[in-house]
Every structure is written in C-alpha cells, then in structure tokens.
Structure 1
Amino acid sequence: MQDATRAQLTFLILWTVVTAIKILIAARLPLFVDEAFYWQEGRHLAAAYSDLPGLTAWMTRLGTELGGQHVLALRGPFLLLAALLPWLIAHIGSRWFGEAAGWRAGSLALLMPLAGSLGVLALPDVPMAFATVLCLDAGARLLREIDAASAAELALGLTIGALSHYRFIGVIGVGVVALLLLPQGRKVLRDPRIWVALAVGIAAWAPLIAWNLENSDAGLRFQLVDRHPWSFQAAGLWFLVVQAALVTPLLFFALMQVFVRSFRNDQGMPAQWRYFGLLGGVSTVGFFALGFFADVERVSFHWPLPGYLPLLIAVPALMREWPRGWRIATWLSSGAGLLIVLAYYLVLSTPQWRERFAAEKYYPANFAGWDALAAAVRQEQARLPAGTRLLANSFKSGAELGFALGDPRIPVLDHPLNHKHGRAPQLALWGLTSDGSRDTPVLLVVGSGDVQFKSLLEYYQLLCKQVGPLPAPRVVNVDHGHQRFLLFALPAERPAGACTLPAFAWIDTPESEAGASGRFQISGWAFKDGAGLEGVDILLDGAPVARAHYGTPSPGTAAYWKVSTDPNHPNVGFRAEVDVTSVAAGRHWLGLRLHGSDGSVEDWAEQPIEVR
C-alpha cells in the first residue's frame, strides 16, 4: 500500500510539473511549418486532405475557435490529449501489473522524451498515440473477457487512429499479428462483436479513401511511393542510434527486454504481458527495418512511438527484478532526456537563445522568423497601393503568413517544396496555386532558404520566368540572415526586359567561427545577375566597418555558377582589411552589404567570428 501511494504521489507531481512546463513552452514556441499548414487545412474544413486524414486539422480549428488566433489555443486540444495519455497508461498498467507498477508506467510515459514531449506541437502523432493506447487497452481486456464495452473501446480507438494518419494502418496490422500469435487472441478474433468493431474502424478510413479516389491516389502515392526511395540506405543505422538516445539507453534496453520476454513459454506470464510485448516489439522492429529503406530527409524519429507505448506498460514490472542502482539510473536518465528535449524547445521559443544556433548545421529554420516576416509584410502592405495582393513562393511562407495575418487564402507559386511535402494537390484543390500572372499589384514573399544554396540561382531564374523581372527586394534577415526572406513589390503589369536577380555572396576567409585579432583580411566573392554590383561593404554586428575592394578576379565563381549572367564575371571577387583592435573580445558577426548597379542594397547573411 505504501509503495503504491508513493508511486501515485510521484506520478501526480511529475504530471503537474511536466504539463505546466509544456503549456509554458507551447504558449511561447513559434509555430512549426507543418502546424501552420494544419491550421490552414482547419480553415478549409473537409473530411480528408492531401497529406493527412481530417482529425488534426479539425483539432486545430477547434482550438482556435475556442481560444482565438494564438499558438497556445491551436495546440490546446493536442496538449489535452497528451495530458490524458499518461493517466490512461497508468490505468492500464494498474489493471494488469498492480497499482504501484501502473503509476510507475504512467510516470515513465511522462519522462520518456518521445512521449513526454507530446502536445507541445500540434501534430497528428498526438491523436495517433492516444488511439494506439485505446486499442491496446481494449485488446488486453478482450484477452481476459470479450464484452461489448471493450469492443466499443476498440472501435473508438480504431476510428481515432484512422482519422489521424496513414501510419496507423501499421498499428492495425501489428495488432492483428499480435492477437494471432496468442491462443486467447485467436479466440477474440472469432467473436462477431470484434468484427463489428473492426468494421467501424474500417469505415473511418472512408473519407481518406474517397479523397484518394477523387484525386488520382495523390495522398497514397506521396505517403507510400513518392517520398521513399525504397532502396537500402546505410543511414538507417543512425535511425537506431537516434532512437536509443531519444528513448534514453537504459529505458530503451528495458523496452527491448519486455519484447524478448514475450517469446518465453512461461506459464506464469500473463497473456497481457505477451500481448503488450508482441504488439510493441513487432511494431518497433518493423519501423527499425523501414528506416533502412524509407524517407530519411524528413523528420521520422517519432515513427516508432506507437510501438514503445505497449512495451512501456510492462517495464515497471520488469524493473522489479533489476538491482536498485540500475532502476535509479533508468529513472534519472529518462528524466534527464526529457529535460534536454524540453530545454531545446525552450531555447527555440526564446529568440535570443535561438540566435546562438544561427551558424550551426541544425539551425531550426522551420521555427524561426515568422513574426519578423509578418511585421515586415504589414509594413510593406501599408505603403503599397490599395488592393495589392499577397503572394508566397511556397506553402511554408503561405501557411505561416496566413496564421500570422489571419488569412488562410494566400496564393502560392508552384514550388518543389509543395510537391516534396505532399501539399501541392491540396493547394490546387483550394485554388491557391498561382502561375505568377496578375492584374493588380502584388507583394511577393520569397523564403530564400526554401531551396538549397547550390540550386538557389536556378530557382531565382525560374522565379523570374514565373512573375517577370524582379525589382530590388526588401531583405528580412532573421538570426543574422540564417532565416532570410525577400519581399518584392511587383507592379500590376508585368514589365518587359531581362531579369535582375537578388545578389549572391560568400566569404572565403575568414571561415565561420574563426578567431580574429588586430587587423585581419577578409576576402570572398559577390555577384548580381542582370545588373552587377558596384560595391561591397564589410559589416561587423550590422554596422559598416570597411569598404571592400571589389572586382578582383574570381574565375572559380563563374565556373561553379555556370548559369550566372553577371556582366562583371570573372572579376567578382572582393578583399578588405578589418580592424578589431578596439572591439571587445568574444563572439561577433561578420556580414556584407551588397550595392547593386541598379541602386539596390542587400544585406547578406552573417557569420560568427571570435575576437580575441
């Protein structure tokens, strides 16, 4: 009794603290790109969409209808479901492994980083995880006794899952396999009430099936064919390493041990243990194998979560056999893992802290700069002629600006990202795909980071073909230009003439994060197709500190950018000397201001240097 009371108190404290922290973060964290598009889908209510079934969009609509146009309101329904999940896991664990083990299973669900951070973002993984737990609870109860209440719970879980994500098909398949491997499970599958529940669950897929039938299987092709290479990739090994890190190593070992024990022919082992172990283990191993052949470009670390949850329920019962030191280490390492994940989100939600990631490989561009962009767009709209329409270059800018400006109908140009993320068919259905033609003034918003740098010049040339010659842009640099937007005020009539494109530049020396002292040399190259550059200023922390000598030979630049039309090639190099003798020691930001021959002025992205 005392053990159960302590376990319950621990759970209640953890649940309260973790939930409060998640609400705080969710209220401050900028909207992730996918969340913004789900909001846009929610403003165009439908039974299903090109990328997902309908539930995620419906939940974002519910949140904003109840709480207003705020990120916390949008995430509210997801936070609620995520907060209920540990209670449900604790309830299931208590039923099969004792009250103390149940509360500890709920606590582990709070501390495991993948499960504990659920709800901070409005993503389909939240209702999908909730549906998974409902189904496994119903399945475990049916193994003991087949009744109408358990069958109804199964039908509810299957319905929520079908409305959450295509990946839930895998959960269903694994669940059927787990039942077939158990004698009690095969008995369950012979009961007509279970087939009624399955029929209800199958019917819930009807909207998604209908959408695909009406749209040439565009959603299915994206989820099952287009986004996956379906060839072996050694990078799948990193998937396993990342999973062990995100679950935390000792807890990951415990989950795998639950799976291994489910194969034991132990008469004293309850059927529910074997059910949880087989359901979770087969799903997890399946996703591990899929990691070697499926999409590795987009985020996929959250895929195995539905497999971890059944395994997690049996972990406290398993850990009773472990030495006390290993149990403590498991709890502490899981808690530390959750703190790291939540701290990362907290850093992303604080602009001053997020800025420190600006020059890093893993800079969180999908979370950054949307407020600054929206403010710049409002300023431009205020000075442009009445009736000027807004046009975005990709679904990212269109959805994020849509949420910030309260406009879910911002048209979007055809862009590779729209197809890469499966959003192009949906944009076309809404009539929001623009071919670039216009009969009124347009403010075009371009995210330069939407295309890899090596392909950016060709993309600008394509953009010029879509909308015509590009005027000098207003540059919005966020986090020292590592999130960068260009705003083009396009006239109603498409002017004739050759294209003038945004400027390009690169600092060859010093390298990013290099040390500097006294007087040091800076060199690189810069060009601007269609007009050329007439000068380059060197900036330190945003202020000019030197005028570069521009026009030195740089034949390698023209050789690399083969399609460049800058009239100054090959003399597009620059060099300058910068004096930092009076600059305080520490990190500073080195940048460029590019002066075009057409009168344009563009600030390039900055890079850090360490002044000694």
Structure 2
Amino acid sequence: MSRDQHTIQKMIPRIGLPGTALRYAGLRWQWVGTFALLLVLALGLRLLAMANVPLIPEEAYYWMYAQHAELSYFDHPPMIAWVIGLGTAVFGHTEFGVRIVGNLLMLGASLLMYRFGRAWFSQAAGAVAALLLQVLPVFFGVGFIATMDAALVFFWMLGLVGVTAALRDNRAWGWYLAGFALGSAMLSKYTGLFLAVGTGLAVVAHRPWRRHLQTIHPYLSILFAVALFSPVIIWNAQHDWASFRFQFLDRFTAEPIRVSTMLTFIGFQLLIATPIIFWVYGRLTVQLLHKPLQALPPQSTLTFAFSLPLFSIMAYKSLRYGVHINWTLPAFLSLLPAVSQWFIDHGLADFKRRLWTRGFAWTIILCVLFNISSAAYLLILQPRVQWISAFGPWKQLASIVEQYEDQLESETGREPLIIAEGAYRLASVLAFYRRPVEHHVNTACYTTSQWVLGGNGLGYPYWSDRNRWQGSVAIFIDDDEGALARTRDHFDEVRLVTDARLLELGRHKYQLVMGKNLKLGNDSVSSK
C-alpha cells in the first residue's frame, strides 16, 4: 500500500465515508490529484480572465452605480455598488477591480457551505458541497462576472450558518448573525427576502424549534435586518417607490400562459445543477412528500424550507414570464449538502457498480473541463472571433468616440455629452472604457443613455438633471443605422461621422453623430 492510500485509510473515521469506498478511492488516488490540478487550473484561468476579459454591459452598468453613490438604485439595491466600489478603490477602475470582490465572496461562500454541510450532514458532504459551489458552471460564472449574485450567495450562506447556530446549537448570537445576513442579502437582491421565508418555515415546521418563537431573539434579528435594509426603503420613499414598483409590478403585466417560458425555466434548472444532481434533488423531494411533516429529520426540514419556496414562486412566474437563469441560484444552496450526502451514502458504498455514481464523478470532471474551456476561450479566442457580443469591442469603440469627442470639444470649446442608444448597455461600457483616455472630466458624469432624447434609461435618469444638458454639444452613438434620424430633431445641427473603423467592430454597424445645441422636448422627464 502506498503512502497516499495509507493516509486515506487513516482518514476514514474522521470524514465519515464508508471504508470499502475509500479503499477503492485510494486505488484511484491519482485521479484525485488530476482533478485537483484541473480545479486549480480552472480557478487560475478565471482569475486571469477577470483581469483581461472586457466587462459585459451589465458589469459596466453596476460600475456606474458605484460612480453615483446613493442609498439605493432604480433596478437593484446598493450592495453591488459597494462591492464594486471596494474593488476599484483598491485595484483601480479596471476589469479586475470591478470583479475581484465578487470572486472573493464566492470563495468565502464555499467556506460557509463547508461549515453548514458539516454541521447538518458530515464533513465529507460539506466538502463536496463546497466544491460544487466552485465547479458547477453557473456558480463558476457568478465568481467571474460582477453582478449582485455573488453577494447574495455569500450572505445567504452566512444566513444558513447563523440559523444553524441558533437552531442546532441553541446560540442566541446565531439569530443576530442571521439577521445581519438577511439584511445584507436584501441589500444585495430583493430575493434575499426568501432567507426570512425559509427560516420562518423551518421554525414552524420542526416542532422542537418552535420554542424559539417564545424568545425575543428572532424578533430582534428581524428588526436588525429591517434597519440594515432601511436605505432601500428610504430611497424608494423619496422616489415614489420606483424600484419596488419596477421589480414587483411594472415588470409583470398580464400575460397569457406560455409553455416556452416554463420549458426554459426547467432547462435553466438543469443547467444550474446538472441533470444528475437535479435528479437526486427530485428523489429527495418525492421522499419528503411521502413522509408526515413531524417525521422529517431537522436537516431535511432545513433543506427544503430554504429551497422549495423560491423554486415554487419562480416556477409559478415561469408560466407567464421569462425567468432568468440566476434567479433561483439561492434555492440550490441548502440542497447541495443534502445531495452530496445522498451520493456518499448510496453511491460510495458500491462505487464500482453504481453507474450513477460514476456519472456524478464524470459530471464534476466535465464541469471543470467546461470551466477551463470557457475561460480559455474568453482569454484566447474571443478577442479574435468575437462570437459573444456582450464582450464586444468596447475599448476600440471608446477610443474612436474619444477621438471625435476631442475634435468636437476643440471646435466648440465645450465639453461634449456622450449619448448612447439603448437603456444602459452601450452608455455604460463607453463610460467605463473612455475613463483611461479622458483626462478632463469624469466620464461617468458626461456619459448617458437614450433617456435624454426620450425613452427608457433605467437608472440613468436618477443620476443627472436633464435640464443641465439644454443647449449642449453632444456625440450620439448607435449600434444600428438609425443614428441620424434619431438625432435630427434634437439638435440645431447634426453631422454623421464617416469612419471605416466603425464598420470593422464586430457584428454591429456603429454610427456616430456629432450634434450642436441640444434641444430638450417634453417627451422625457428628469427624476431630479
């Protein structure tokens, strides 16, 4: 027996895996080493891509959040602005600065996942679940792209750890940790509210935990969470409840039932968890439905209390509306340790013959290989082939825009406003990528979207007084061929730029118009 195999044998009592399985696993120790190298390679490539792959428009838009410090924002709570602001304060206004804190939060979420899984299942289940959080491609992507999901996942896991301390270990401080996590999760994304829903369901469903309702700690923790969330409430009160209306009313007008959105929703869940993990979750759910509530073990109660409500609401929404792939991510967090323990209990005991166990192992390996391939593509091929337009030619486009901005400023002696077609996408990437080459003004303050000329601008109307730009000079950029028609009635003088470089920037045929004396009608109203 080799030294590695002997080490594995000694670890059997500590990590709780069946001895037969680990004796077999010991014979395959070289595969463990190979997998570890692949995982390190994937994480290393992700780190490298974070510093070198251009921002997508959503990341640039959230960077704009950070440049306009407010209590909250039109379409999301403020946590993403704080996360990006912290990263750029340390690493500058770079792709790495925008993304690094989200990456660290996802790594921290894996540590919390291990603690949660170990407390309710086993060390092995906690370790496998923590690994899955870095291996499953959608979660891997959350650790790369700077969105509010990384913070939501981290604080959701922190909430699960706090609830564990309160319910399992009877520690009063666990309630306050859970309250802090709840408030922070809601500051990250409104779906953080389901952290409170899951806690309430777990306490009510498991009879021994109901005694906590007779103590003051759960109620004080809720007040703590509300106090943390108060900036969002205050901002909404000051802006006619705009964000709440947008998220909970305006986006969900009456729609007929659509099979396509429901099937897309199901497909998204399979992509997040992979078919084999989702299949095990389905088995566990069926087992739950066949047992009386009082017969459920506490870890099962906790697993489903923090997953089924969010799944159910999103499944209901999917009957009529499109549901984004990232909306259900928190629902998977409590079930990953349960699924991991199921594989350990049912699979490793007969590792050689269980086809689905090998399928689980191959699923993990293929996920890591997919992550490596994706990161390598973004680093090597995307700049050349530009198949994914979201990472578009932003630096080149910003450089061209800045050249004509300098020309217009030289002609008029005035600082031009940059206006980009669309609600937020093009304006946000231009503001970010013009910053290194614009030395006179803050590009975040002199770049805006179509709302100035009329139309939807999401958060942009809340960051600028529209009347400020009356009579100004401006450059309008469109990613289609309607720029001249779009601007002719808004300026005294317009000039379409003819530049062959604009036709060589990927799939879009960008047009650029230079305008003088901006005229503001009454078709759009400033929020200031």
TM-score range, shorter chain: 0.7 to 0.9
- Tell me if the contact between 2:419 and 2:450 (Cα under 8 Å) persists in the aligned partners: no
Query: Which one of the candidate residues 443, 457, 460 is aligned to 1:427?
Result: 460
Aligned-partner SS, 2:158: helix
- Tell me if the contact between 1:262 and 1:278 (Cα under 8 Å) persists in the aligned partners: no
Larger mean CA deviation between 264-273 and 200-209 belongs to: 264-273
Instruction: State the partner residue of 2:434.
Output: 405
- Tell me if the contact between 1:112 and 1:337 (Cα under 8 Å) persists in the aligned partners: yes
| Separation of aligned partners in 1, 2:271 and 2:428 | 32
| Separation of aligned partners in 2, 1:229 and 1:29 | 37
| Separation of aligned partners in 1, 2:462 and 2:45 | 39
User: How much has 1:142 moved relative to structure 2?
Assistant: 2.5
Specify the code of the residue in structure 2 equivalent to 1:238: T
Aligned-partner SS, 2:509: strand
| Separation of aligned partners in 2, 1:206 and 1:112 | 34
Instruction: State the partner residue of 1:94.
Output: 118
User: How much has 1:72 moved relative to structure 2?
Assistant: 0.5
CA 1:149–1:12 in structure 2 vs 1: closer, same or farther (change >3 Å)? farther
User: How much has 1:226 moved relative to structure 2?
Assistant: 1.8
- Tell me if the contact between 1:155 and 1:198 (Cα under 8 Å) persists in the aligned partners: yes
User: How much has 1:265 moved relative to structure 2?
Assistant: 4.3
Instruction: State the partner residue of 1:61.
Output: 85
CA 1:285–1:349 in structure 2 vs 1: closer, same or farther (change >3 Å)? farther
Larger mean CA deviation between 344-353 and 84-93 belongs to: 344-353
Specify the code of the residue in structure 2 equivalent to 1:409: C
Query: Which one of the candidate residues 506, 511, 527 is aligned to 1:486?
Result: 511
Instruction: State the partner residue of 1:251.
Output: 277
Give the TM-score normalised by the residue count of structure 2. 0.81
| Separation of aligned partners in 2, 1:411 and 1:267 | 59
| Separation of aligned partners in 1, 2:232 and 2:154 | 20
The yes-or-no answer on 1:396 pairing with 2:425 is yes
User: How much has 1:353 moved relative to structure 2?
Assistant: 5.8
Aligned-partner SS, 1:120: coil
User: How much has 1:230 moved relative to structure 2?
Assistant: 4.3
Query: Which one of the candidate residues 210, 214, 219 is aligned to 1:195?
Result: 219
CA 1:356–1:52 in structure 2 vs 1: closer, same or farther (change >3 Å)? closer
CA 1:96–1:250 in structure 2 vs 1: closer, same or farther (change >3 Å)? same
Instruction: State the partner residue of 2:317.
Output: 290
Query: Which one of the candidate residues 114, 137, 152 is aligned to 2:138?
Result: 114
Amino-acid identity (%): 21
- Tell me if the contact between 1:412 and 1:434 (Cα under 8 Å) persists in the aligned partners: no
Specify the code of the residue in structure 1 equivalent to 2:446: I
Instruction: State the partner residue of 1:577.
Output: none
- Tell me if the contact between 1:410 and 1:432 (Cα under 8 Å) persists in the aligned partners: no
Larger radius of gyration, structure 1 or 2? 1
- Tell me if the contact between 2:419 and 2:449 (Cα under 8 Å) persists in the aligned partners: yes
Query: Which one of the candidate residues 8, 11, 34 is aligned to 1:2?
Result: 11
CA 1:479–1:301 in structure 2 vs 1: closer, same or farther (change >3 Å)? farther
* 1:110-155 CA-partner distances (Å, limit 9, x unpaired): 2222223322011001111111111122223322233222112212
The yes-or-no answer on 1:233 pairing with 2:263 is no
Instruction: State the partner residue of 2:128.
Output: 104
CA 1:413–1:105 in structure 2 vs 1: closer, same or farther (change >3 Å)? closer
The yes-or-no answer on 1:334 pairing with 2:334 is no
Aligned-partner SS, 1:412: strand
| Separation of aligned partners in 2, 1:416 and 1:428 | 8
Consecutive unaligned residues in structure 2, runs of 5 or more: 1-9, 16-21, 436-442, 520-528
User: How much has 1:76 moved relative to structure 2?
Assistant: 1.1
Query: Which one of the candidate residues 20, 43, 47 is aligned to 2:67?
Result: 43
Instruction: State the partner residue of 1:564.
Output: none
Specify the code of the residue in structure 2 equivalent to 1:162: M
Specify the code of the residue in structure 1 equivalent to 2:358: I
Larger mean CA deviation between 9-18 and 319-328 belongs to: 9-18
Q: Choose between structure 1 and 2: higher helix proportion.
A: 2
Instruction: State the partner residue of 1:444.
Output: 476
- Tell me if the contact between 1:116 and 1:338 (Cα under 8 Å) persists in the aligned partners: no
CA 1:436–1:175 in structure 2 vs 1: closer, same or farther (change >3 Å)? same
Specify the code of the residue in structure 2 equivalent to 1:403: F
| Separation of aligned partners in 1, 2:241 and 2:146 | 26
Specify the code of the residue in structure 1 equivalent to 2:319: F
Give the TM-score normalised by the residue count of structure 1. 0.70
| Separation of aligned partners in 2, 1:468 and 1:211 | 37
CA 1:102–1:172 in structure 2 vs 1: closer, same or farther (change >3 Å)? same
Instruction: State the partner residue of 1:222.
Output: 246
Consecutive unaligned residues in structure 1, runs of 5 or more: 358-363, 449-455, 495-612
User: How much has 1:492 moved relative to structure 2?
Assistant: 4.8
| Separation of aligned partners in 2, 1:314 and 1:346 | 32
- Tell me if the contact between 1:143 and 1:271 (Cα under 8 Å) persists in the aligned partners: no
User: How much has 1:35 moved relative to structure 2?
Assistant: 1.2
- Tell me if the contact between 1:409 and 1:432 (Cα under 8 Å) persists in the aligned partners: no
Instruction: State the partner residue of 2:208.
Output: 184
* 1:527-538 equivalence runs, <5 A: none
| Separation of aligned partners in 1, 2:381 and 2:173 | 49
The yes-or-no answer on 1:343 pairing with 2:373 is yes
CA 1:250–1:413 in structure 2 vs 1: closer, same or farther (change >3 Å)? closer
CA 1:179–1:115 in structure 2 vs 1: closer, same or farther (change >3 Å)? farther
Query: Which one of the candidate residues 124, 127, 133 is aligned to 2:157?
Result: 133
The yes-or-no answer on 1:318 pairing with 2:342 is yes
User: How much has 1:106 moved relative to structure 2?
Assistant: 1.3
Larger mean CA deviation between 160-169 and 175-184 belongs to: 175-184
Aligned-partner SS, 2:259: coil
* 1:561-605 CA-partner distances (Å, limit 9, x unpaired): xxxxxxxxxxxxxxxxxxxxxxxxxxxxxxxxxxxxxxxxxxxxx
User: How much has 1:256 moved relative to structure 2?
Assistant: 2.7
Aligned residues: 473
RMSD: 3.1
Specify the code of the residue in structure 2 equivalent to 1:48: S
User: How much has 1:26 moved relative to structure 2?
Assistant: 1.2
Query: Which one of the candidate residues 391, 396, 414 is aligned to 1:387?
Result: 414
Aligned-partner SS, 2:163: helix
